[in-house]
A and B are shown apart, each in its own frame.
With several copies, the nearest count.
Chain A
């Protein structure tokens, strides 16, 4: 079974040379740490920066240079700042190659719910609805089941949706899954996890085609 770091490491392998990538808050943010350093990738943050670098050293924090998680950041050579409208021109205009974000539920047809639990305080969708409605390549990073042990991979989402039919791939602590016309297609098992365990943790239709390899994570 993977921990959050493991999920981030596995997703990092999906990041290809030349990609502009938008990372959501949580596990997705960790992905940046594990991208191969022999490829060129630029990270976009929807509050208005392209070419984000690592966190600043102490004393070098600048209140005017933050990411969408409101964290202080640095920029790399070739970075740029821009306004919110242009930032979402990048996102809606499909100039961002890969979007990685967390989810509370994903359905077998690629719907995602990640912004609202009725009856609880709703913080808002931020840029998530723009991202999922626009991006052509979206990977969800999440635990396979919720804290009560219930599957987060469902036939239909029960929570209010963030976007419809938009998710391409899911990486959980148990598996790598692709969304296909027929439903969730199991691509890889987490180290030490059996197909049966994945089946029993998945509520939506799971397609198991031939031998399912174990993930390779460095």
Chain B
């Protein structure tokens, strides 16, 4: 067993530098790598390019990095819910590249899988396809999209082991598995590192081969963005 465990978030983020391209897992505030984001704030890195479906809210998630002007460019599918984001975007301080959510997921998965490019129907005939190759297969039109290239992937899982094997919980899974192995170095933070052999080999969502570093995170807030309930 190849041991991927590091003992704290500081070691986990060793080598992350200003100007790097980072993949950050999560959908909204669900399944985001809270510990890694907090450490990126502490490290005061700047000019980051972040590939993440969303950009957090003003005081949580990637919003924490935005507040400190650490992000140069966001590559996302949906970036509402964040006033500071809006201000920086409209003022031109922040570059934003919006791409369809399924294309975002597939560009991650392609990077993970050694597929340099693929065709998707999403965005054909829209400004998303401007400047991109398009092509007919059968009687439908498609757009050529390329795999992402990133320096680090930060993902959050529910449980993991020292071998880097991961399982995710509920919809906190989202982009996290697709970002594993999609950057040069993948750092996984988990709520719990379990003893080796405790995870059923049949039920591992992401095998450790895609992970370079794993650590047990702490103080997870797991904030709920839209608390919706029904009446008893």
Q: Taking the complex as a whole, does A directly touch B, i.e. does some CB pair lie under 8 Å apart?
A: yes
Tell me the minimal C-beta distance from A85 to chain B in angstroms. 4
Verify if B189 is at the interface (C-beta below 8 Å from A).
Answer: no
Interface mask (A120-156 → B, CB under 8 Å = 1, otherwise 0):
0111111111100110000000000000000000000
Tell me the minimal C-beta distance from A208 to chain B in angstroms. 29
Verify if B127 is at the interface (C-beta below 8 Å from A).
Answer: yes
Which residue of B is nearest A58, CB measured? B229
Contact (Cβ within 8 A) B114 A94? yes
Verify if A51 is at the interface (C-beta below 8 Å from B).
Answer: yes
Q: A77-B197, A95-B210 are in contact. Are A129 and B100 (CB under 8 A)?
A: yes
9-residue interface stretch from B37-45, B64-72, B157-165: B157-165
Determine the distance from Cα of A77 to Cα of B165 in the docked complex, in whole angstroms: 11
Verify if B193 is at the interface (C-beta below 8 Å from A).
Answer: no
Tell me the minimal C-beta distance from A35 to chain B in angstroms. 13
User: In the complex, which of the residues A77, A83, A87, A93 contacts B176, with contact meaning CB atoms closer than 8 Å?
Assistant: A83
Contact (Cβ within 8 A) B30 A63? yes
Number of A-B contacts (CB under 8 A): 252
Verify if B132 is at the interface (C-beta below 8 Å from A).
Answer: no
Determine the distance from Cα of A51 to Cα of B120 in the docked complex, in whole angstroms: 26
Contact (Cβ within 8 A) A164 B125? yes
Tell me the minimal C-beta distance from B123 to chain A in angstroms. 5
Interface mask (B92-133 → A, CB under 8 Å = 1, otherwise 0):
000010101111111011011111000011111111100000
Verify if A50 is at the interface (C-beta below 8 Å from B).
Answer: yes
Verify if A205 is at the interface (C-beta below 8 Å from B).
Answer: no
Which residue of A is nearest B164, CB measured? A78
Verify if B79 is at the interface (C-beta below 8 Å from A).
Answer: yes
Verify if A20 is at the interface (C-beta below 8 Å from B).
Answer: yes
Contact (Cβ within 8 A) A72 B227? yes
Q: A64-B222, A124-B80, A134-B122 are in contact. Are A129 and B1 (CB under 8 A)?
A: no
Which residue of B is nearest A54, CB measured? B230
9-residue interface stretch from A3-11, A41-49, A179-187, A191-199: A41-49
Verify if A90 is at the interface (C-beta below 8 Å from B).
Answer: yes
Range class of the A interface residue count: 35 or more
User: In the complex, which of the residues A48, A121, A125 contacts B128, with contact meaning CB atoms closer than 8 Å?
Assistant: A125
Verify if B63 is at the interface (C-beta below 8 Å from A).
Answer: no
Verify if B21 is at the interface (C-beta below 8 Å from A).
Answer: no
Determine the distance from Cα of A82 to Cα of B224 in the docked complex, in whole angstroms: 20
Residues from chain B with a CB closer than 8 A to the CB of A77 are 1, 196-197
Determine the distance from Cα of A191 to Cα of B36 in the docked complex, in whole angstroms: 53
Residues from chain B with a CB closer than 8 A to the CB of A212 are none
- List which A45-91 residues lie within 8 A (CB) of chain B: 45-51, 54-58, 60-73, 75-91
Verify if A213 is at the interface (C-beta below 8 Å from B).
Answer: no
**Can you list 9 contacts pairing A with B, beta carbon distance less than 8 Å?**
A40-B2, A42-B1, A51-B201, A55-B228, A64-B222, A95-B209, A129-B103, A130-B122, A161-B127
Given A70-B28, A91-B114, A130-B101, 4 extra CB contacts under 8 A: A79-B201, A83-B178, A84-B104, A125-B101
- Chain A positions near chain B (C-beta within 8 angstroms): 18-20, 40-42, 44-51, 54-58, 60-73, 75-96, 111, 121-130, 133-134, 160-165
Closest CB pairs A-B (n = 8): A92-B114, A88-B102, A130-B102, A77-B197, A164-B125, A78-B163, A123-B80, A89-B113
